């Protein structure tokens, strides 16, 4: 019954996953949360406790938040309301000890939704400028003459525009979600989780700088080939795979370091 206030929210969210490519990763978050809960199923079943009455209050608070969110139209607020209500249901039905076990994974459901558009636009623009500046410096170090003008990189034979897709915002959302999943599923230390998050941000920006610099080198030697959509898409996929691999490698390095120091 607690799902009834969230029907419109869930329907709108599913439409966004299908319509907006950069937020399509959100559709995987419920599956990720289900996996994390499955990994904790033995711990959950080991607890034997009656329901926790204050959990019902959390359900009510979550539903009230959703009513407010429905008037404001803020999906992020609705996601917080949904996670709060679901947490309350677990506590009310299963008890406080089980609630402690599942609360972390359930909180990840907030990642299902995109950030408010004004925050996304501001973040994207700042990342565009940062990526343009760093890429311009990198191209100059590689011997490529370039004039940096806002989000434009003017080469001698080509003008390279750093668009929203090259800002790194899409990679940041996806890599941040991956870092959180790795942190909550495989790591227990908070400093490790925070390190994964920080490195995810650096890799997202770095991978897109690599993408821009690579495109600039292509433009220098082959001109308009840099505008080939298929090549641009394949290059973008490749650098994202490199970034994701870098995050997984960093996580393994942290685990190896901890084992060596233990």
Q: Domain check: are 132 and 221 in the same one?
A: yes
pLDDT for the residue 169: 66
Q: Domain check: are 102 and 179 in the same one?
A: no
**Structurally, how many domains does the chain consist of?**
2
Residue at token pair 């490199």 = 242
Please give the Cα distance from 72 to 75 (Å, whole number): 9
Q: What are the C-alpha distances in Å from 26 to residues 62, 102, 126, 258?
A: 21, 19, 23, 31
What is the rounded average pLDDT of the residues 159-170? 68
Q: pLDDT confidence of 32, banded at 50, 70, 90?
A: confident
Please give the Cα distance from 45 to 140 (Å, whole number): 60
Give the sign of the dihedral formed by CA 78, CA 84, CA 88, CA 91: positive
Domain end, chosen from 112, 135, 151, is at 112
Does 138 score more than 80 pLDDT? Answer: yes
In angstroms, the first-to-last Cα distance of the chain is 48
Q: pLDDT confidence of 75, banded at 50, 70, 90?
A: confident
Closest CA to 131 of 118, 150, 115: 150
pLDDT for the residue 165: 60
Angle of the 29-39 helix axis to the 169-186 helix axis, nearest 10: 10
- Domain boundaries, position 216: 117-261
Does 225 score more than 70 pLDDT? Answer: no
Q: Domain check: are 169 and 230 in the same one?
A: yes
* Mean confidence (pLDDT) of the chain: 81
What is the rounded average pLDDT of the residues 4-32? 82
Q: Domain check: are 34 and 83 in the same one?
A: yes
Alpha helix positions (H), the chain = 7-19, 29-39, 41-46, 54-72, 75-94, 96-107, 117-141, 169-186, 190-222, 229-261
Please give the Cα distance from 50 to 94 (Å, whole number): 6
Does 219 score more than 80 pLDDT? Answer: no
- Strand partners for 159: 154
Question: CB–CB of 25/181 below 8 Å?
Answer: no
Domain end, chosen from 56, 84, 112, is at 112
Domain end, chosen from 88, 112, 136, is at 112
Percent of the chain with pLDDT over 90: 1
pTM over the 0.85 mark: no
Q: Domain check: are 246 and 123 in the same one?
A: yes
Please give the Cα distance from 227 to 158 (Å, whole number): 10
Highest mean pLDDT range out of 105-114, 151-160, 173-182, 213-222? 105-114
pLDDT for the residue 261: 56
């Amino acid at each position: 019954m607690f799902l009834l206030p969230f029907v419109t929210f869930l329907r709108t969210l599913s439409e966004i996953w299908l319509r907006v490519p950069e937020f399509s990763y959100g559709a995987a978050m419920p599956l990720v949360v289900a996996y994390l809960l499955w990994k904790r199923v033995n711990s959950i079943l080991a607890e034997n406790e009656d329901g926790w009455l204050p959990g019902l209050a959390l359900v009510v608070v979550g539903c009230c938040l959703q009513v407010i969110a429905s008037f404001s139209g803020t999906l992020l607020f609705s996601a917080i309301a949904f996670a709060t209500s679901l947490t309350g249901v677990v506590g009310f039905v299963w008890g406080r000890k089980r609630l402690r076990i599942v609360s972390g994974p359930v909180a990840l459901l907030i990642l299902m939704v995109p950030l408010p558009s004004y925050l996304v636009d501001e973040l994207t623009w700042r990342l565009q400028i940062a990526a343009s500046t760093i890429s311009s410096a990198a191209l100059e170090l590689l011997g490529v003459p370039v004039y940096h003008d806002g989000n434009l990189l003017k080469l001698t034979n080509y003008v390279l525009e750093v668009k929203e897709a090259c800002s790194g915002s899409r990679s940041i959302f996806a890599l941040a979600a991956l870092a959180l999943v790795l942190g909550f599923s495989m790591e227990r230390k908070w400093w490790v989780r925070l390190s994964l998050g920080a490195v995810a941000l650096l890799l997202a920006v770095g991978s897109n700088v690599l993408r821009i610099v690579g495109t600039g080198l292509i433009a220098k030697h082959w001109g308009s080939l840099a505008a080939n959509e298929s090549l641009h898409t394949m290059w973008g996929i490749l650098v994202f795979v490199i970034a994701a691999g870098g995050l997984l490698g960093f996580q393994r390095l942290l685990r190896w370091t901890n084992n060596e120091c233990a």
